[in-house]
Structure 1
Amino acid sequence: VYKVGFIGLVQPFSDGFKLLFKEFSKLEMSNFFIYYLSPLINFYMIVLLFMLLPFESMKDYFILAMLFLLSIMSLNVYSVLLMGWSSNSGYSFLSSIRVVSQMISYEISLMILMLGLMLSVGSFSLMDYIDYQVDMWLLGVYLSSGVVMFVVFLAESNRIPFDFIE
């Protein structure tokens, strides 16, 4: 029996720790700087999205948050393409092109769904989305769009069954 700790809570942290301290291997023909900078760029863009989380204590909130969200999610495509290109491997580059084409196709459907939400709420601010849902949740009104948006978010986050980036 394999012991993962108390209810497996420590397992993700130990996996991350193991990945950080694995043997360092340098690809011979790769563009070293871009190859190792691309995941950091991707991580930085994801961290930028955390500043969009609305809090009650915020006095001035970013009123174009939805446009910023869509633009940052669209920029993640470039870091994936840079990862494949900078490895100087034909297979990695073809795989990154395949992943980019999938990400773009799901981003188009996400943008269409978000455009519908923006038109119904009438704002780009995420605070207005919270205020709009005081009486009735948007998921209750747009149930079919909510299911499609859930599938698109799974694809955007590269989770199962859309984990082609690995």
Structure 2
Amino acid sequence: MIVTKTDLEDCFIIKPQIFGDERGYFFETFNKEKFQKLTNLEIVFLQDNEAFSNKGILRGLHFQKGKFAQAKLVRVVKGKVLDVAVDLRPESKSFGKHFSIILSGENKNQLFVPRGFAHGYSVLEDNTIVSYKCDNYYQPDAEDGLIYNDEGLGIDWMLKEEEIVLSEKDKNLKTFN
């Protein structure tokens, strides 16, 4: 496992070691001991989620408030997404900044998004499957989000505006400010 820091404090790219041969491949999607050693973060994941989407779907930017905040480890099983994290922690050096990375079933990279961040992704290929671990349980009353096209954030979702498909909930999210 190779861990690379991003420009956002406590947000990491995780590149697994892949073992492949004529039969296919094998890799660890998560190893708590290695993760803790390489990031100096102690994380206990409690919930795994999976989402299927086609090209143009945009999910986010979502977060859980207060004691229900969630850290996430995001990966793509099949297909390709642009994964985005926004630092919402006022005390952080990277407050208000975002980071984006392409995650795909091909590159097998993962993004660790710490608590106190908004998270979202745009789907760049049909038949995409996203899987992510959370270190806290989902609480509907603590759910919140930021509108995807917030001009202050300036996120390029790598989709044309007319391609983007949002849920009704995501169409009505607030701006960062």
Superposition TM-score tier, normalisation by shorter sequence: under 0.3
Larger strand fraction of residues:
2
Q: Which has the higher contact order (CA 8 A, sep 6+)?
A: 2
Larger helix fraction of residues:
1
Q: Rg bigger for which structure?
A: 1
- Scaled by the length of structure 1, the TM-score of the pair is 0.23
- Scaled by the length of structure 2, the TM-score of the pair is 0.22
